[in-house]
Structure formats: structure tokens, C-alpha cells
Structure 1
Amino acid sequence: MWNGKPAPWYKKRRNLCILIWVSVVVLLIIIIVAAVVVPNAGKDDNGGKQGSSPGGSGGGKGLDGISPDSIPKGAPSWLNPFVWASTDDFNLTYTDETVGDLPVMGLYTDWDDSARANGRVPALKDPWGDYSKLPARGVNVGGWLSLEPFITPSLFNYASVLGIVDEYTLCRYLAARCEQVLENHYATFVTENTFKEIAEAGLDHVRIPFSYWAVQTYDGDPYLFRTSWRYLLRAIEWCRKYGLRVNLDPHGLPGSQNGWNHSGRLGAIGWLNGTDGNTNAQRALDMHDRLSKFFAQPRYKNIISHYGLANEPKMTVLSVPGVLKWTTDAYNIIRKNGVTDAIIVFGDGFRGLENWQGELQDLSNAALDVHQYVIFNENLIVYNHSQKVKFACEGWTQQTLQSMDRSTGYGPTIMAEWSQADTDCAKHLTNVGWGNRWTGTYVTGNPAGIGDFTEPLCPTQDRRCSCTEANADPSKWSSAYKKFLRMFAEAQMTSFEKGWGWFYWVWDTESAAQWSYKKGMAAGVLPAKAWEREFNCKISDIPSFSDLPEYY
């Protein structure tokens, strides 16, 4: 009772407790939202000011002679250079012309194929010749037109409760801001200077990953539609300027071909699998129909050396006959549409190189795409440095020769991804928030713990396993560790040149120095002027285990 009357509701103990708890929860929510949103207010995720257009490095360069009135009202952003983040080296005269239903806006009508990357290779206008005698030496510009969290961790710098782990969840969260954030990334992460440096490094091929939303999006897709298409076309022109041949790499297919974050969406595989598997398989064929009509134009005949079908289809889960049929269907569409000279490339699907013997033998001028890493294999990551170099010399040489021989493997083989990384310590490398195998902190979130690694897998396999040195700045690397990295790189180059060549993963990153070709050269652990060198892998030259650090 309160003064002889029933107590007000707020004086009752139970109601008062509820009120206090609700207030605490609301306060916590406000604090979390403020921590996540307020620092980004008025800025894009690269720290730039927001505005009505993407803004960026272009600054409207070249637009002085173009009248805004020449752009039709309501023209989409990919046809309106006045809202582009960068206008460098784009043709800014408006056109809605398409080839294969894909816009040519941004392209100049003339081109010159007289450049050559270096003295080791022919000019673009001249035939390359036999790749088994002159293997490709290339690099990937990954994490650019298809995002990968470990390559650009700043784009994924959000509170874990928001669940932003891939391009799908990022764009879903950003909503209307996705265009500004991603185009600023496209305009700045890779520039003309990137390709100039690649040529100066002595490389001669560039693999350019991109995803299906460069061509088309579908109901429910949050992805940024078509903006990356323009940057892909400009990148090809910059490659042309420096004599670099191009490997087109569709990194993400409708539905996801592997369920990994670099396909666009982490989780289920919805390509050739699940309820919409056949629909997504057809959508991917439609994508190749449009792409191949576009790239069958004469301007691409000399520069598109490799045409990829699907990056890393997970054939350990997918129907192998289904993938093989889809591969044949895609191949036939591309050849029918006029892409006659490029090597058609299809992924090995992780099914074992020996299992490709006799497969797809009716596809001419085609090659098997193999990716070789030690860090995603629990049996290899535990090797010490000398064992890793020896495995690269012997094991991967054996695998390459096996794959190149049609009596034991598919035949023509390229190593389209490889790296010197000997740990999986780089931030977000194994997915946002999953930890790593190296220190035994790899937890996927699977309720049954399937796929988790909670015991350290560095060579000592104990509490001494640490990522401190692995993630250190290259300036702090020991001379012994640099020696290992250089030997590990040259061992792999030697092995992979037993095939049709290699493409290093990746040219540059924001912070993961051990994965960057550019930073590797700066640290002296990758050969500069690669075109001047011949690589040699001698087991007798490998130091004993005691001569190199036991682990990072």
C-alpha cells in the first residue's frame, strides 16, 4: 500500500526491475549502434566524405569538354561519367551501344597491340607460341572486382554481431551506400600504375577475377550491378598498354559454385546444387553467352589469352558429371560465339589430378586450372621450412608432370593460384572471425565442430605456435626467413613451369604482406625482373631444418 492507496505501477518492485532491465538493454543497443555507425557517419568505408556521387581519384578529369546535357535524363550510373569515381583513361562520350548486351561505354574505338611485357615474350600482336616451351609468368589482381576480406580487411571492419563476412552481407548492410563504397575501392585499389609495376617486375600475364554481377543481378541480390564491368574493361586496356596478356576469371557464379566468401556469399552452394541449382547453372551459361559475344570482338583477339569458366567449383560436393556437362556446354557456347584463340580454362575442382585422366579430351585448346597452397591442408601446413621447400620441389613437380601427361592426367595444366604463405595467420584469411589452423583457433561455428581445428598446426604443434612473427612487417623478417621465402617461391616456379605456367596470388593486399607479390619483391623474397631469370629447384641446396627457423 502507498499512503493507504494502491502503489503506482512504478513503485511495484517487479515492474521497477523490469523497467531497469529494459533501460539497460536499450542503453547497450544505443552504445553498440553508436560505436558502429557514428564513426562512419559522413564517410565511406575508405574514410572519404560522402556526396551525391561516388567521388574518388578521377575528380572529373576529362569531363570539361563533355556537356552534362549529353547524358540522357535517367541514364544509369554505369553510363553517366559525371557520377563515376574515376574517369582516367575512359572514353567519356555517351553511348548506350552494347555488344552481347554489355555496354561499350568507356571504351575508345582504337587500340594498339604492339607492346610487349618484356624481352622474354612476344608483342601482343604476335603469337605466343607453345606454352609448354614458354610458360606464362603471371599474377592475380585479386580482392579488387571480387572482394576477399583478407585482401581488404578495412572493408570488413564491423562489429561481429552484424555478420558482415562477404560481399553479399556487406552490400546488404550498406544498401544504397554500397555503390559509393565499392566504386571508391575499384577506383583506388588497382590503378594504371599497378599494371606498370607488374610489367616492370618481369611478369607477362594478369589474371583478373570478377563476378557475375558485373554482367547481371537477380531478384534478392544486394550486389552492385555492372559498375565493376567498366573497371574490368579499363584494366584490360591498361594491360594492353604494358604488353600484358589477360586471363579472364569469373570468380563468383550465380548461387555460388563453392560456398566460400570469394564467390560472393559464404555458406551454401547454390550452383548446380540445391533447389535453384539448375536455374543458377543456366544463369552462368547465359553469363558466358554474353561475355563471349563481347570478347569475340577483334580488339580482344590478341590480349585475351585465357578465358576461365568457373573459379574453384567444389567438385568434392557437386555432381562431377554435372560439372563436366556444364563445362562442355559453356565451352561450346564460347567457341560458337567467336572466342576461338583464347585457352578455355576450367578448375580442377579439388577432386585429385589423377581423376582428370581421360576427361574432356574433345575440348581443344583448353587447360586444367590448378591452385596449389600448403596452408589450407592440415597435412602440409605442419611441415617445417625445409620440408615445405622440398615438397614444392618434388611433390608439386611430380603432380605437374602427372597432370600434363594425358596418360596419367588431363593434359595441359596451368597453376592459376599459388603463394609463399606458410601460415594461415593473415587477418580474415580463413573467413571473418574464424581464427586459424596455425594456432589452433580455427572455429567455423558449425554446431558439431565439423571442420574446426582447435589444436595448433604450426610445426611444433604446441603452445609455442604464434602468429606474431607471421604477421610482422617484412622489415622485421629475419634473413633466414627471407631465405626460406625466396627458396619456396623459386621451388614453386620451377615446378609449375613444368606445366603451362603460373599466376601468383596475389599482387597486392592492404596488410597481409606474406601474400603480396609487390611487397615480396620489396622485401627481397621474390625475384625482380623475373623475365631475366631461369628458376632451378635443387634439393641439395635446401638447408637443413636447423638452418632455418623452426616456425615463424
Structure 2
Amino acid sequence: MSHQNDPTRNVPYDPLPLTTEDHPSHALYNAPPSPDPNLASFASSQYNASGSSIPTGAAQPRFMGQAALYDSPGGNRDSYASSQHTYPNQGSEYSSSVYALNDAHAAPLAAYRDDPRDNYFAGEPGSLPMTPVGQSRYLEEKRTTYAAPRAKSRRLVMIAGIVAAIILLLLAVIIPVYFAIVKPKLSKDTSSSNSSPGSSGSSGKPSQPGSPTKNAIVTGGDGSKVTTENGTTFIYSNTFGGYWYWDENDPFNNGARAQSWNPALNETFKYGIDKIRGVNLGGWLNTEPSHPSFQFISPALFEQYLTQNPPAVDEWTLSEAMRADTANGGINQLETHYETFITEEDFAQIAAAGLNFVRIPLGYWAIETRAGEPFLANVSWKYFLKAIQWARKYGIRINLDLHSLPGSQNGWNHSGRLGTINFLQGPMGYANAQRSLDYIRILAEFISQPEYSNVVAIFGIVNEPRANVFGYDALSSFYSEAYNIIRTASGIGEGNGPFISFHDGFLARSQWVNFIPNGDRMALDTHPYICFNGQSDAAMSTYVTTPCTTWASAVNDSMTAFGLTTAGEWSNAVTDCGLWLNGVNLGTRYEGTFQDGSTWPKIGSCDTWTNYKAYTDDTKTAMRQFALATMDALQDYFFWTWKIGASSQSGDIESPAWSYQLGLQQGWMPTDPRDAIGVCGGADPFVPPLQSWQTGGAGAGNAAAPIAWPPASITSGGAVTLLPSYTQAGPIPTLSGPSFAATPSANAGNGWANAADTALMYVPIPTCSYLDPWVGDASPPSPLCGGAARRDIDEPAITPAP
């Protein structure tokens, strides 16, 4: 049996039915499955028949015969990935799995065989026995028909060789292109996906024949050359059977596949069965990570403004400093960062690393800002659209994570502004929540459009809200209203809009079980880190089983009780060492310098953990084992983060345990994440699939979540009816889609999936006074425009949504 890293094992043949239950009359199919060496149960896996699918625990057969013969007499066996890639000439002998296996003059289908027994097709018209290995009846007949060729001159032989080489070269280019371009048949599972290789994601119709094209090559696999939108090129390296797809004349095509074992974007991703193996793109469109730590991802952005008063410690103060720094480009320096920190090639490398998802943090200022907010408005949305295009090109799915809300949901730097919590807390807590729900609605309407729903598959609506501050009741009420808003935009059931990801708010997972009974496609997000707790100078090797004993069982329980449970963030860090990991100039627990009001004993020097160039082979091996154990324990995950930028002062990466890319380069991250399967031993396993209602199947979809919105009161604010609130009277800042120079008429959608969703935007009431949304604790404004006052105001006329 081939080793799992052998690229030859990744040929994506179709599954072959293997049981007499499927085909009782053919004992040939009663063959045992090939066990998958990735699984802990390799030595004792048993086949449990499940239709015509490969059984759990079985590896893909190396050769596919004419399985379709018995289901469709007179039909033929399609070739590579028959559900998506077939030759158009249905009567051709070359439609079989192996070219020229059959005699061309034999009767259709009856002549096709992959069993050497002479009588296998006995009695069928035109049937002939299979040619013995090493011989060819076809060739022998040809030899008897034609006389031996005359001796050719050396020159003619050379010419023939050159012609043959040219033909082979053309075939090497044309064949893979042909397979990816051929219009596939949508299966039952993907009929609602609206797109397939060679078809538009918006309408399901192929691009018009004769459309002009600038690049003839629209797809490729390992070793192919990729041309980016700015004309630069690179070689695509993917040994896992993945292939990219980009056709300027069909820009919403979803035909790409990240790896052979993952569904292409036009195929159904089976949550709970297909594993989410993802990575965050932290520090890109929201310039920090997503723990109470931040600028360590892109330190060079902040280092130039450390000596200012106040220093740049979050995106708010960074934006203020940049706006004042007109000599160096002003606030547009942020767009330079967007352009350069993550590029198309990063997406290609992510697919090549065996990963199939990216989680992209996004601040609310991608949609708009309001008076006094210094953030660069709207520009990050332009680059999120690029991310969708690049993800589509390389077969990667996106988890859109709304990382920052008005007023701050946790008071940490990554929420946009370090300081107080003004979301669901304080006098502006209700108004800020209203505004946040609008942003959730705008994003949900956009990503639920058929042009984007196959790519943006998960929507994380709030990153790390601190429920320990404003309470479970307030947060669950907000979550319920967000659920209603998203399902209004998308509709109910599989294939309609994204999975909705709810962060646990740092509460026990069990507290969220059934909070929306039979909720349609919901995921629970947790962020398991061990580095921000007590510190130790123990060797990395002592941590290699910690993820298994700490997280595995709890994740399994949650997958059963709640449904899809993901780890939106985790890292290889076991200490809090790293440049600005806890904040700019706030020190570390490990060195006893952390400025959080507590006393931390000094454990040692962080240089041991940050100087990765001095890591020993044993240290790298232990880090890799820790990563594998974490992957297996968490099952569906997003590593934080893909890339760490170098310090402008030292010129080096000073938080190495947080960079997946660096770990691949240095050897402490696995080159194949499937190596993690079974590392924890499979104790107390979750047995897939998820319950059907958890994935949008039978029983899914409430007309409305049961928890009322708004909550009766707000922490540090009082009764909601006595707090400032907004009214729905403003125009909606609908998000626009991309445009394509080659196909200006391509349908990018209008930004709004549900035309019946016509409510207007929450905006201030002109006759009322409001506090600064970021104010913190303060007395209510006067005159008060709370819930009671709002009821006395005439509601605005409803106008159609854009």
C-alpha cells in the first residue's frame, strides 16, 4: 500500500460500489475495502455498506471499472471524476477509465472489461475475452493487415520524432484544460449550488461561445504556471491533486479543487464528515490578531508610530497617526499593507499545504464609518473581494469573521479600539448593538447571493464577545436576532447562505446547547489557547499530548450535543513570548513583565522561544507533534495565523510559534495535515454525521429564533427602554461586487440576496442627543431618545432594498 504522502495515491477516481447489496447479481462487488492508513482504526476497520460510496475507513481503489454498466445498461462508464468531468462523445471507446483497453470493433460496452476471466461477459453480443497481459489483439490484427513499413531515412525518423514530441506537448497542455473546462453534470447534492466547472456561479449558464479571451490556459495542476491579474507569474506546486481554475470569461466558475480528497467548490462540503482544515489571515484586513494580542502580526506598521503621543496601539490610534503623517502617504499606507501582506500566491500556498479553508477577520469599517471614527472606510472590502476571487481560483472556502463592532465587543485592541466595552454594555450598548445587526445584515445579504455562497461558506458574526462582562442573556438575545436576520437574507436549508458561527463568549460549550432549537446550520466557535495561562519553562516535548487530554473529549461531546464545533483560532505557542503578543510594550508573563495589574514571577528569557533559528531538531519535532495532536483533538480548525510579518527593527519574525507559513518552511508544521488523524488515539470519538437538522436537512429551520430581542436590560446601562436607541430611517450602504475588464457584463449581483428584505438602516434620530459610541461609563444624554421616545416617532416609509 502506498504511503499517504505519495502523490500517486491522490488520483481522484470515482468510488466503486463494493457490495452485493448494491449489485446482488454480481459477486465481483463483494470485495473487502482497502483500509485507510490515516485512521486509527486502520488495523481493524470494518466495512459498513452505505450505498455506492466508499465506506468509512476505506481508501480509494486504485482502478475503477465500469461500475455504471449494471445501473444503466447500454450506458458507458465515464472517465475521471465522472460526476464533473466527462468526454462529450458518449459513444466513444475512449470514454472508459483507461484508454484503448477494449477492442475498437467490439460491441459497445459489452466489449469493455477489466477482469481477465474469458467468460466474464460470455453470452453478451460482440463480447471477446480480455487480451492477455503483454499482448494486444488490436496490434496483431494491424500487423496482419499491413505490410511491414519500409526502412525510413534517418532524417525522416528525426522529423517523426519531433512531430511526436510536439503532439505530446500539446496533449500535456490540452488534456488537463479540457477536463476542467468540460461542463459537468450537477449532482443531486450540488443542484442548489448554482455553479459547476465551465458554468457561471450566478446563473448556471455557460459563458457565450466565441467570447474573447486573453489567457487560453484557464486551469492547471501541480507544476503549472499561474498568471496573476497584474501579469506576474509563479509555478503552482500542489502534490495533493488540487487544481486551480480561472477563466476571465467565466469569473464566477466554481470548478477549482484545493486537494483531491476535498470537494470542489461546486460540490457539497459535508460538515461533520469533510474536515475543516483552515488557517486565519490575521493582521491583513484587520491589522492585528484576535486574542487580547494584536500588532505582533504586522509590527512594522506600528513601530514607526511608537514614539508619538499617544502611541499607535490599535487600529484607531494607528489610523489617527497615519492620517497625520501625510509625508509618508497618510492613511493610504493601510491600503499598501492590504496590497502586499496577503497576495494571490498565499492562497495557492495554502492549498498546497493541504488546507481547505481560510478565516478572514474583517472590521465593520469595510462597510462604513461614522463621525469621529478614524478608520479607513470601505477600502478593505475591495481586498475582501479579491480574497473571494483568489479563494475561488484555488478551491478554498472562506469563513468571514466580523472581528470588530462599533463601541468594541471586548475592549481589546483587535476590536478596533483598546479600552472600554460599549457593545451590549453601558449607555450606548443597545444603540451599538442595533448598528452591529445592520452590518451583519448587509454582509449576510451579500454573501448569500449565488455568486458568492459557494465560496463564503461560514459567517462568524462576532469575534470574542466577552459574555462574562455583559452576560449570557444579552449575548444569546443578540445571537438569536442575528440568526433571524441572516436566515431572512439567505433562506432556510442546505445550500441557502452560510453556516452561522457563534463564538462561545468564553462560556462553557454546554451552555449553548439547543439555545436555538433545530437551528439551521449553526457552528459553535471556540479559541483554545494555553499560552495565556500560567507559564512554565518545561521543554516543548512535555506538551505533545496536552491537546488530546485537554480538548479532544470536549470537542467530541459538543459535536454531538450542539453540532458543528470549530476552533476558530489556535497556535503552537505554549508561552506568551513574542513581540507585542500581549500588546505594545506590555511585556510578557514568562519574563515577569506583563503589565496587567498582577504580579507574574519571572520564568526565564523569551529568547529561548522566539529565536527559531536556534531551535534544535528535537524542538521542531516536538512542535510538530503538538500541532498534530491539536489538529486531531480539535477536528475542524483554523490556525492563527498564516503569516507573521518581520519586525522593522530586528528584520526578523519574533513570534514564530504563530506562523503556519514559517512552520512549514522550518519543519515544525506538517506538510500534510492528514498526518494528524488518529494522533490522539480516538478515545470517546464523535461518530459522524451531524444530525440532519444541524446541516440544513430534515427538521432544520425555525421561522424565528425563540429568544426575544432586545434583552430587557443592559449591563451598566439599565433598562433598554431607558437607553439611547436608533431608528430605521437611513439608506442601506449596499456592498458592491467586483468588476472584470474582460467581461464587464458579468453578473456580480446587486449586493442583496433577498429583495423582500426592505427594512432601512438604524440611524440616529435627528431631534435626539447621543453619547459618543465609544464613551464607556457615562450618564445618559438629554433629551433621552430611548425605547419609549422611539415609539412616539412616526416610522419611516419602507422603500425597496437595493
Residue-by-residue CA offset, 1:360-399 (whole Å, 9 max, x unaligned): 3342210100111111122x76765344322211111122
* Letter matched to residue 390 of structure 1: T
Looking at structure 2, the residues matched to 318 and 181 of structure 1 have their Cα atoms a distance apart, in angstroms, of 36
Q: Please point out which of 506, 513, 518 is paired with 1:350.
A: 506
Looking at structure 2, the residues matched to 377 and 357 of structure 1 have their Cα atoms a distance apart, in angstroms, of 27
Work out whether residues 366 and 378 of structure 2, in 8 Å CA contact, stay in contact via their aligned partners in 1: yes
* Letter matched to residue 469 of structure 1: T
Report whether the alignment pairs 1:291 with 2:443. yes
* Letter matched to residue 623 of structure 2: L
Work out whether residues 120 and 531 of structure 1, in 8 Å CA contact, stay in contact via their aligned partners in 2: no
Work out whether residues 393 and 537 of structure 1, in 8 Å CA contact, stay in contact via their aligned partners in 2: yes
Superposed displacement of residue 162, structure 1: 2.9
Q: Which residue of 1 aligns with 2:626?
A: 488
Structure 2, unpaired ranges of 5+:
1-227, 231-247, 289-294, 646-652, 683-802
SS of 1:323 mapped into structure 2: helix
Looking at structure 2, the residues matched to 411 and 381 of structure 1 have their Cα atoms a distance apart, in angstroms, of 35
Q: Which residue of 1 aligns with 2:637?
A: 502
Change beyond 3 A, Cα 1:362–1:160: farther
Work out whether residues 375 and 381 of structure 1, in 8 Å CA contact, stay in contact via their aligned partners in 2: no
Looking at structure 2, the residues matched to 533 and 439 of structure 1 have their Cα atoms a distance apart, in angstroms, of 33
SS of 2:588 mapped into structure 1: coil
Looking at structure 1, the residues matched to 265 and 662 of structure 2 have their Cα atoms a distance apart, in angstroms, of 28
Q: Please point out which of 155, 159, 168 is paired with 2:301.
A: 155
Which structure has more relative contact order (CA 8 Å, sep 6+)? It is 1
Give the fraction of aligned pairs with identical amino acids, expressed as a percent: 39
Q: Please point out which of 523, 529, 533 is paired with 1:377.
A: 533
Superposed displacement of residue 471, structure 1: 1.4
Looking at structure 2, the residues matched to 110 and 160 of structure 1 have their Cα atoms a distance apart, in angstroms, of 45
Report whether the alignment pairs 1:138 with 2:293. no
Change beyond 3 A, Cα 1:89–1:361: farther
Q: Please point out which of 511, 514, 522 is paired with 1:366.
A: 522
Change beyond 3 A, Cα 1:196–1:371: same
Q: Which residue of 2 aligns with 1:520?
A: 663
Q: Which residue of 2 aligns with 1:50?
A: none
Q: Which residue of 2 aligns with 1:123?
A: 264
* Letter matched to residue 644 of structure 2: T
Looking at structure 2, the residues matched to 515 and 313 of structure 1 have their Cα atoms a distance apart, in angstroms, of 22
Larger radius of gyration: 2
Q: Please point out which of 490, 496, 508 is paired with 1:338.
A: 490
Looking at structure 1, the residues matched to 661 and 249 of structure 2 have their Cα atoms a distance apart, in angstroms, of 30
SS of 2:477 mapped into structure 1: helix
Residue-by-residue CA offset, 1:469-500 (whole Å, 9 max, x unaligned): 2111x332111211210111011011011xxx
Looking at structure 2, the residues matched to 292 and 200 of structure 1 have their Cα atoms a distance apart, in angstroms, of 30
SS of 1:162 mapped into structure 2: coil
Q: Which residue of 2 aligns with 1:269?
A: 421
Work out whether residues 216 and 287 of structure 1, in 8 Å CA contact, stay in contact via their aligned partners in 2: no
Superposed displacement of residue 109, structure 1: 7.7
Looking at structure 2, the residues matched to 533 and 333 of structure 1 have their Cα atoms a distance apart, in angstroms, of 38
Q: Which residue of 2 aligns with 1:55?
A: none
Superposed displacement of residue 160, structure 1: 6.6
Looking at structure 2, the residues matched to 469 and 382 of structure 1 have their Cα atoms a distance apart, in angstroms, of 9
Superposed displacement of residue 301, structure 1: 2.0
Looking at structure 2, the residues matched to 293 and 179 of structure 1 have their Cα atoms a distance apart, in angstroms, of 29
Q: Which has the higher helix share?
A: 1
* Letter matched to residue 296 of structure 1: S
Q: Aligned pair count?
A: 415
> What is the TM-score with the length of structure 1 in the denominator?
0.72
Structure 1, unpaired ranges of 5+:
1-87, 91-106, 540-552
Change beyond 3 A, Cα 1:529–1:522: same
Looking at structure 1, the residues matched to 461 and 537 of structure 2 have their Cα atoms a distance apart, in angstroms, of 33
Q: Which runs of 4+ in 1 moved over 3 A?
A: 107-110, 380-387, 531-535
Q: Please point out which of 579, 583, 590 is paired with 1:431.
A: 583
* Letter matched to residue 402 of structure 1: D
Looking at structure 2, the residues matched to 124 and 210 of structure 1 have their Cα atoms a distance apart, in angstroms, of 22
Looking at structure 1, the residues matched to 252 and 678 of structure 2 have their Cα atoms a distance apart, in angstroms, of 35
Looking at structure 2, the residues matched to 355 and 383 of structure 1 have their Cα atoms a distance apart, in angstroms, of 34
Looking at structure 2, the residues matched to 117 and 341 of structure 1 have their Cα atoms a distance apart, in angstroms, of 21
Superposed counterparts of 1:158-197, under 5 Å = 158-159=306-307, 161-175=309-323, 177=326, 178-197=330-349
Superposed displacement of residue 236, structure 1: 0.9
Looking at structure 2, the residues matched to 336 and 375 of structure 1 have their Cα atoms a distance apart, in angstroms, of 40
CA RMSD of aligned residues (A): 2.2
Q: Please point out which of 314, 326, 337 is paired with 2:466.
A: 314
Superposed displacement of residue 134, structure 1: 1.7
Work out whether residues 146 and 251 of structure 1, in 8 Å CA contact, stay in contact via their aligned partners in 2: yes
Looking at structure 1, the residues matched to 593 and 557 of structure 2 have their Cα atoms a distance apart, in angstroms, of 35
Superposed displacement of residue 220, structure 1: 1.2
